[in-house]
Structure 1
Amino acid sequence: MLKQIKDIGITKTSAENGDFLLLQNPSTSETYKITKENLLAGLLSDTTVVQPTTLLLLHGEGTNGGTSIIDSSSFGRTATRGGNPVTSTTQKKLETSSLYFDGASFLTFPASSDFDLKQNDFAVQAWIYPTSVSGSRAILDRYNSTIPFSWQFALNNGKLNFYIRNSSASGALLSLDGDTTLAINTWYHVGVKRINGVISLWLNEELDAISLVNARLNSSLVLTVGKQGNVSNFYYQGYLDELLFTKNGETLI
């Protein structure tokens, strides 16, 4: 009986077309034959990966004090500068420069249905080097306190925060704070993502907070980098590098 066979020495490290495996269900003693073609077909079917749609990609590349800020996604969105956000070679995480926000500067990108996340998977990630972590410091948002289900990814008193306005725009549907307090003048890889309805915050590739709150994140607002969208307040202060905003597909951080 096949079920009586135990330790079998492995003498081959590659398969030929006529080779096969025999597997047996120990409960029913049913035996299954798996050919090389069967095995390869199964492996190939499992390796199909849906690539995410890159909505915004800011490498932060430019000259020191440069005012040309480029979206490197396939959309090539045009940035409108508020205040004086610039490229800087003073601090950078990757390549030769990063974006610098002086605490009174921001970027906006035109409203687009591409940004309507609905209940889809999404991810926002960036390298940040904050020079101030007090109060609320918006990194990326489509937020307005009067708009239901508008959202914001920010620092809140030194911790990562993801905020969703509720259905009546009277308060928070979700205000998810990370566990870790960030220091100033230090590079961090930060992110928020939603996979299958689960929202999580990430710090240096480690899980920092998680929530099961799910909502249709629709709005007609512009996309804002570096401050809260509807007010002249809550400015991010420091350096920012490799900002990536994606939806659907593999949203890895």
Structure 2
Amino acid sequence: MTTNWDKIIREFLDNLERQEVQLLTWGIVDGGFSEDEIEELAEDFLNTCEIDEDVWDFLDQILERKLLFELNLRGDRLFRTRMAEAVRLFARLRQLFPNNNWQTSPTLVADYRLQIRPRIYPNRYITPEAVIQQLEADKLLTPIQQKAVTAILLSHDRGEVQLADFQLRATRRMLQDLNSTKSRGMIVCAGTGTGKTLSFYLPALAHIAALLKKDEHWSKGLAIYPRNELLKDQFSETYQEARRLDAVLKAVPMKKFHRQA
């Protein structure tokens, strides 16, 4: 039987966050789980779920996903979930002026209130075939765009990718806007980890695929991000999506996607 690690990790994080919030709601943001505590909590959780998995193999999965952070507090290992670390960073934000020491600068956050709710993820059930059928019914796809969407949603390395309702709606709306002569903005709102990136890069890459022509060199898309770390993460993901189009573009007199330094 295949283990659904995403679901299991979410449940474990819920357990950790319920304990962290007891201190966070009182403004105590510098706490965390010791090495012994996090190991005991993970072991109890795996035993309760009847999962035969090494405790630290399980924790390493969460650490690698950056859902749990390991810190060094005067030589001791301390663990916080991403939620708790984010609250700590927000609460510790300080104003920084020239010639001021940031450690003694005024704080930007005077007070905060924290409320946690269960994680809700949209159901991804729309198959690639249904996506193509809907977009073709709306007359939004050229032949090369249809191949591009198929290559992204049905790649050999990743397998089939099914979309949520909001991802299909965003794809339809963006393709409609890209085919229009009017300029219009669009905002995609969804929770963390629900697939916002794919919802706007799927139509964008499909549109760019149709614009590529041999011996033509001009910028066809511009991505702006507020932080370098987010930019690096998003670039890596988008680069992988672009590579899935190489086989499609080789079949026509076009060039690969390239990034410009």
Give the alignment's TM-score, normalised by structure 2: 0.22
The higher radius of gyration belongs to 1
With a CA cutoff of 8 Å and minimum separation of 6, indicate the structure with the bigger relative contact order: 1
Give the alignment's TM-score, normalised by structure 1: 0.22
Higher helix share: 2
